[in-house]
Structure 1
Amino acid sequence: MAAGSVLGSTYRLQLTPEFGFAAAAEAANYLADLGISHAYLSPVLEAVPGSPHGYDVTDHARIRGELGGAEGFRAMAERLRASGLGIVLDIVPNHMAVPADLRQNRQLWSVLREGRGSPYATWFDIDWAAQDDRMVLPILGAPLESCLGELRVEPNGGPDGEPVLRYFDHVLPLLPGTTRLPLRGLLEAQHYRVTWWRDATTELNWRRFFDIATLIGIRVEDPAVFEATHEVIVRLVTEGLVDGLRVDHPDGLADPRGYLSRLAEATGRAWVVAEKILAPQEALPADWACAGTTGYDALRVVDGLFLDPAAGDILGAEYTRFCRISGDDCSARRFADVAAEAKREIAGGPLAAEVARLARILCSVAPETPAEDVHAVLTEVLAAFPVYRAYVHPGEPPPAAAAAAIREAVDGARRHLPRRLRGLAADLGAAALGQQRPVSGAAGRAGEFVVRFQQTTGPVQAKGVEDTAGYRWSRLVSLNEVGCDPDWLGTEPAEFHATAARLAADWPHTMTTLSTHDTKRQEDVRARLAVLAEMPEEWGRRARQWHERAVTLRFFGAVAAAVDPDTEYLIWQTLVGAWPIGTERLAAYLTKAIREAKRRTSWISPDQEYEAAVLGLAARALDDPRVAESIAGFVAEIAADAVVNSLGAKLVQLTMPGVPDVYQGCEEPALSLVDPDNRRAIDYPRIRRDLMDLDTGSGAIRPADLEGGDFAAFRRAKLLVASRALRLRRARPEWFAGSYRPLWASGSASAHVVAFQRDERPITVVTRLPVGLRRRGGWQDTTLPLPAGTAWADVLSGTVHRGGAVPVTELTGGLPVALLVPTPGG
């Protein structure tokens, strides 16, 4: 094992055909210099050619050739090992790709060719009975009748030289003996049915990843499927080439608990974290065989420390005021209401096929219930479901948390249902808990409903909240993050300390993060936007000024429908948060945002006129000198406060309980938006030069530069904080594996400092709410009690402090944060 069994920190690398194993190996020395213990790689198994992310796996038996193949992986591992680095892999147990050229997925090719008689028929989660033993393939550009002339049989196109069916780039197998049939007869004879791509919404009869019909769910609950899909991964672990695993989307599995137990047994209990999205107040199931989550729960509470909880009402009032001057009234809305509406739309629209499958199962358990009533009740229960998933195991009493979540969903649904359906909602809840007595002969279907219901709540939650409501509600968009509750503003220090103490006690090796490949905005965009919560009236005034300028100059163009106020408010916040940003990046982000919102345009039905209005507003805002200068000036005004938030959040994340992950490039200012913006290439040679300058003293940071908002100074300061904290963790891992103790400041500005100590040694000190701190006249009499009897050196500045009550103004004289360690003989 390259770096030992204990993970000190990880550094996420997004592998692509342009940045493969050789490029990752080239970064080894830099990552070691930074203080990282493990490179954390995006999926490495064979994927769809050209895939920019690797989550569309086509072959579990091969390491991806475009990244360098098995030989390239081993060479990279050796290079990393030589630099003292281990490897963590991202794995995808929930699904495989349905590529256009189906020859790339040999298991699915076999199933489509041979149907239920295929040796791989148990691999995929297909409801054969729903489509008369045929699998629906929604690949056509129009209804079948319009596409018959574009379908053709191609001789010798198969893996063994057999004939295939081709539709543009799509290559499909043919049942032997059917090639001489007329085209219509040939199509009817297959074990699949090709349909219009829009039919996926209502007719799909197989589980997919969310609403993506190019990713098919696999049944890793089958031991044979688990073994085949994990053979390469397990071998890499047992050979010592890989030290840990990140499990993608465990909530999609039939039995996450069972899967993690099997994975632990197969890997000798390697370090594993699960991409589990926890709602506020929700706990990770204690019986999961893993080290914890991938860190969204930590992101929520760390970000919250740097938000002013008292600002919610004023922010809401400014949001309402902006909506009203733009022709809308959002005063009665909460994010929870917007989310419920979005989940209802998702359940009745993009995921209607999944809901219909659930309804069929429930009707078989209680056959006297009208199907339309079952569907209506299911939609409302799914819309009211408060978390991603409840964990109920057929044949076992439901855990209290699962029962509470299902009860809350049923109660919420009953409030929106007519009286005659409220009893059915209660029955559905009982069925989801495995407590509904099925009709004779339907016991198996009752157990299936328990599992399928749990596999459906997550996609509805993810698509409804993350990918729809989060783009519809713009009070403060930095809160519209995975695992966050945008109605909830800020974390009080006591709450943060309680959360950190629980992690230290229950999940000490969980992952912590501030940015991932899935975050909607990188950490420093959110840190900058957090400043708006401390000056909501000023922010509201600026946004209205920019809107008025847009109206005056007819930024919106001559389209009939103006940009809706939520989208316009999102634009102004995006410009502030990601500034400076170019037209191309901004247009790509906004196109994704408004299509995900699904209000006036969508991926399925794009409205070109509306999209032109949105992109036109954004482009003209960048082009108009008065608006661009005003935005740049405002960003400059809040830059110093944003730096305080950024450095504080980073130091807290790197030193709190857990294994900190640094997303690629986020050791320096991270101002990217949602993918694919956050997969842009990182200039590692330049960052390494910056790190060398810091190490040699030529990159000294002047407090005046930070206070003046100098970006270059911010870049050096963040790299300094990241590298010194990471190096300390690597040098003294035992210090960060032990206890957690909050330290409480005294004095008039005590609410603006957060401090804690790990294992009675390193002490973290950060500044919070800098606008309020400045308004109250600075630290004044505020002190922090350092343990007496020793001296404490700040690894960031080199300043030494004696124990006792130390003025916070001394601790934060050079930087707004400090990382203190006991000095020898102090």
Structure 2
Amino acid sequence: MTPERPDPVVPTATYRLQLQRDFPFGAAEAAVPYLASLGVSHLHLSPVLEAVPGSTHGYDVVDHARVREELGGEDGLRALARTARAHGLGLVVDIVPNHMAMSPRHNRALWEVLREGPKSPYARWFDIDWEAQGGQLLLPVLGGPLGEVLDELRVDGDVLRYYDHVFPLREGTEDLSLPHLLDAQWYRPVWWRLARTELNYRRFFSISELIGVRVEDPEVFEATHDKILKLLHEGVIDGLRIDHPDGLADPDGYLTRLHEATGGRWTVVEKILADGEHLPASWPVAGTTGYDALRHVDGVFADPAGFGDLLGHYRRFAAPQTDRGGQWEATVRRAAYKVLTHELATETDRLTRVATRLCASSPEPALRDRAPWALRTALQELLVRMEVYRPYESTGAASVVTEEAAAEARHAFAVPEEAGAVDVVRDLVLGRYGDGPAHVEFRTRFAQTSSALRAKSVEDTAFYRYVPLLSATEVGGDPGRPALSPEEFHAYCARLQRDWPLTGTVVSTHDTKRSADVRAALNVLTECPERWADVLTEVTRDGAGVPDAQLAWAAWQTVFGLGPAEPERVQGALLKHVREAGLFTSWTEQEPPYEEAVERFVAAGPCGAPGERIAAFRESLREHIRANVLGTALVHLTMPGVPDVYQGTEAEALALVDPDNRRAVDYPPRDSGGTSADKAALTRAALAVRARRPGAFGDTATYMPLPARGAAAGHCLAFARSGEVVTAVTRLSLRLAEAGGWQDTTLTLPPGRWSDALRPDRAFTGQVAPAELFTDLPVALLERTGD
């Protein structure tokens, strides 16, 4: 019996669950009564299709035709859906169109390609350059150069084995000697370090274990989406989250095809928008997964003036040398050069080869006689100046690959005539020399490389090198300008309500480097930069054992934001921090002496006796941290869009970067009191209001800022939703207290009688003093109850 779809299909609020072997469909099903009681309308599931065994995230898909057996298989998913329906909940599922796991023994489609080569019917699935590397697909799996590990490869019947790796043998090659057998395959196992420069398949960012999938091919789209679409049409699931559309050859075309195939189901895309960038208006989606909302919510709780002072202290304390004085833009640029020439060298090579072939064969005189080195230089200089993730066909490339960027790029050439390569490359990106297959390939490769470069250089490198305020180093964030005014926040919300009213919004996800509550605590430091500097002077007085001052600054902020925690959690996050930064060690070139020094410093300092001083300082700011935690939560749950509550964050949740933030959650959670209990009550109340008054928050709702008046007006952030609900929160509460409190400040409510959903015994009308509104809590959620 097919379960009926819930009404409405469009979520009012979702709750994200990280499925894994230790938290399968059965565990999610057991949690349904509790989750339904929160007031969400849908459960948001991490990927459910078959993945590499033991995967803790599910983004390494190996079979699109099956629901993951480790989670309980399709029967388990359908049982979860039935139980959810019985409690009034629907399901939204995360899907991964861009890539699959590079694991032949689990990925049968890839297995067939390795066995049969480009003639395999599955060869069209994968983005492989068969013209490179002598027609063999490079597999970067060996622990050393082939000559050093040849004895560790062995033939076992019709397969080749290398430790846990298993590869099929091309028919008729089983009896060849090992060197000749390797030459006869459609693939070539190579030293893992060659992935940097020699790969001939597209991958996810610089992760060689994930191979790109060509969903732009209609047959590949149908094969990889058949199971998900059946689950949609049978009412098992209601909506989709699309992982990393920027990696696709044609995001515009893919989303159009998906929209048609789903019948227009609610769909959001993991699109990271740069400051000032807008989602393409032509995309048939509800909006983004919400990182743009995260930046705006965080930003309104940071003090712009205080951040400037904090930045000054950071420069003096950390003395960052890698970015020429601690400038964010310079840090990003330097990181981009490093990523292009190291992690993405193979992608740059392939793009250069396409450009070189185009120029050599073009009848256009302007394209002829362009040296490969000049084209490569032009490509690099334009790519590092991209300020967004990529261009799109629907919006045009001229607005993102700008003439200003080209003018700067020309300075990389000593001879003006050679600088003409920049104009050649830019014109090719803009499509000014035609739309032949090679031209389309170049534009596609440029966009895909740009996307990978932006992610790797900003999210995975610069965010770990530029650390004056760790709360700003978040996906979609702008660490160079982390603080936003209330006016900027209101303008963003008004635009969201007008253009994308059903978009997703988040403040914590499986990918955030710090949970919202950790970031809320860190934002308080922008209100007391001098006191923070004094505390650091105190805890670092002797300076002993500090491997580098920039890491030390980040480490002290980490324990301030996290609060008391197990040392191994801090150690793990900071080890990841220094490897991602890549200044003294990295994932691929690890420096054990430096990493050991980091571990000793963290154990003796932030996690040792000096860390107690940081804990005491944090405790002295407890009420102001509480104001930020509760304010962030309430704004998120009532602003335009569909809020997504990440697992466990309905109460206070203090987590660092993955895997710390992906730990399993117990349901129902234990009541730990204090801020956590306040946040849990607030979450329930806000979600209940959304459920009671869906019209106040949906696509036909309105958003109206409510400016306060008086000496402390800037500390009250308030807005009304459709004249039915009012949100009011305290911002920069420490600055407020230091300035003498609310004094004569007032807030004028819209007409009507208003009841406080957080304190139902209270009611207000007309003009209200924030001092009265925020007596017990630094936030208020009002419902209109009468004229």
| TM-score where L is the length of structure 1 | 0.92
Check whether the contact 1:791–1:800 (CA below 8 A) recurs between aligned residues. no
- Which of 59, 74, 79 is matched with 1:75 structurally? 79
Question: In structure 2, how many angstroms separate the alpha carbons of the residues matched to 1:668 and 1:422?
Answer: 57
Question: In structure 2, how many angstroms separate the alpha carbons of the residues matched to 1:412 and 1:580?
Answer: 48
Does 2:54 correspond to 1:50? Answer: yes
- Which of 352, 377, 381 is matched with 1:359 structurally? 352
Q: How does 1:194-213 map to 2 (within 5 A)?
A: 194-213=189-208
Partner of 1:388: 389
Q: Give the stretch that moved more between structures: 675-684 or 168-177.
A: 675-684
Question: In structure 2, how many angstroms separate the alpha carbons of the residues matched to 1:355 and 1:328?
Answer: 27
Letter in 2 for 1:786: L
Change (3 A) 1:623 1:804: closer
Give the secondary-structure state (helix, strand or coil) at the position aligned to 1:820: strand
Deviation at 1:638, TM superposition (A): 1.4
Q: How does 1:595-610 map to 2 (within 5 A)?
A: 595-610=579-594
Question: In structure 1, how many angstroms separate the alpha carbons of the residues matched to 2:612 and 2:573?
Answer: 22
Deviation at 1:415, TM superposition (A): 4.3
- Which of 98, 101, 123 is matched with 1:97 structurally? 101
Q: How does 1:30-429 map to 2 (within 5 A)?
A: 30-99=34-103, 102-155=104-157, 163-324=158-319, 332-367=325-360, 368-392=369-393, 399=396, 402-420=398-416, 421-429=418-426
Check whether the contact 1:391–1:402 (CA below 8 A) recurs between aligned residues. no
Deviation at 1:437, TM superposition (A): 5.8
Identity over the aligned pairs, expressed in percent?
A: 49
CA deviation profile, 1:555-595 (whole Å, cap 9, x unmatched): x1xxxxx5222111110100101111221111111111111
Q: How does 1:384-783 map to 2 (within 5 A)?
A: 384-392=385-393, 399=396, 402-420=398-416, 421-436=418-433, 443-549=436-542, 551=543, 554=544, 556=545, 563-622=547-606, 624-625=608-609, 627-687=610-670, 690=671, 712-737=673-698, 738-783=701-746
Question: In structure 2, how many angstroms separate the alpha carbons of the residues matched to 1:405 and 1:172?
Answer: 42
Check whether the contact 2:459–2:475 (CA below 8 A) recurs between aligned residues. yes
Change (3 A) 1:168 1:620: same
Give the secondary-structure state (helix, strand or coil) at the position aligned to 2:208: strand
5+ unaligned residues in a row in structure 2: which ranges? Answer: 361-368
5+ unaligned residues in a row in structure 1: which ranges? Answer: 156-162, 557-561, 691-710
CA deviation profile, 1:142-188 (whole Å, cap 9, x unmatched): 00111110111112xxxxxxx10001100001001001111111000
Check whether the contact 1:3–1:85 (CA below 8 A) recurs between aligned residues. no
Deviation at 1:3, TM superposition (A): 4.5
Give the secondary-structure state (helix, strand or coil) at the position aligned to 2:605: helix
Question: In structure 2, how many angstroms separate the alpha carbons of the residues matched to 1:529 and 1:198?
Answer: 38
Partner of 1:158: none
Deviation at 1:492, TM superposition (A): 0.7
Letter in 2 for 1:736: F
Partner of 1:817: 779
Give the secondary-structure state (helix, strand or coil) at the position aligned to 2:650: coil
Give the secondary-structure state (helix, strand or coil) at the position aligned to 2:340: helix
Question: In structure 1, how many angstroms separate the alpha carbons of the residues matched to 2:16 and 2:150?
Answer: 46
Check whether the contact 1:220–1:253 (CA below 8 A) recurs between aligned residues. yes
Check whether the contact 2:101–2:107 (CA below 8 A) recurs between aligned residues. yes
Deviation at 1:798, TM superposition (A): 1.4
Partner of 1:17: 21
Measured on the aligned residues, the alpha-carbon RMSD in Å equals: 1.5
Give the secondary-structure state (helix, strand or coil) at the position aligned to 1:517: coil
Question: In structure 1, how many angstroms separate the alpha carbons of the residues matched to 2:114 and 2:249?
Answer: 23
Check whether the contact 2:14–2:645 (CA below 8 A) recurs between aligned residues. yes
Letter in 1 for 2:376: H
Question: In structure 1, how many angstroms separate the alpha carbons of the residues matched to 2:433 and 2:471?
Answer: 42
Partner of 1:695: none
Question: In structure 1, how many angstroms separate the alpha carbons of the residues matched to 2:201 and 2:50?
Answer: 22
Letter in 2 for 1:748: A
Check whether the contact 2:307–2:529 (CA below 8 A) recurs between aligned residues. no
Change (3 A) 1:631 1:212: same
Check whether the contact 2:287–2:502 (CA below 8 A) recurs between aligned residues. yes
CA deviation profile, 1:600-630 (whole Å, cap 9, x unmatched): 10110110100011111110125543x1321
CA deviation profile, 1:198-218 (whole Å, cap 9, x unmatched): 000000000000001110000
CA deviation profile, 1:784-810 (whole Å, cap 9, x unmatched): 10123x210000011433321111111
Question: In structure 2, how many angstroms separate the alpha carbons of the residues matched to 1:404 and 1:265?
Answer: 29
Question: In structure 2, how many angstroms separate the alpha carbons of the residues matched to 1:644 and 1:592?
Answer: 30
Give the secondary-structure state (helix, strand or coil) at the position aligned to 2:718: strand
Question: In structure 2, how many angstroms separate the alpha carbons of the residues matched to 1:94 and 1:241?
Answer: 23
Check whether the contact 1:752–1:768 (CA below 8 A) recurs between aligned residues. yes
Letter in 2 for 1:305: V
Change (3 A) 1:607 1:329: closer
| TM-score where L is the length of structure 2 | 0.96
Give the secondary-structure state (helix, strand or coil) at the position aligned to 1:403: coil
Deviation at 1:675, TM superposition (A): 0.6
Give the secondary-structure state (helix, strand or coil) at the position aligned to 1:823: strand
Check whether the contact 2:651–2:677 (CA below 8 A) recurs between aligned residues. yes
Question: In structure 2, how many angstroms separate the alpha carbons of the residues matched to 1:269 and 1:123?
Answer: 25
Question: In structure 2, how many angstroms separate the alpha carbons of the residues matched to 1:379 and 1:523?
Answer: 35
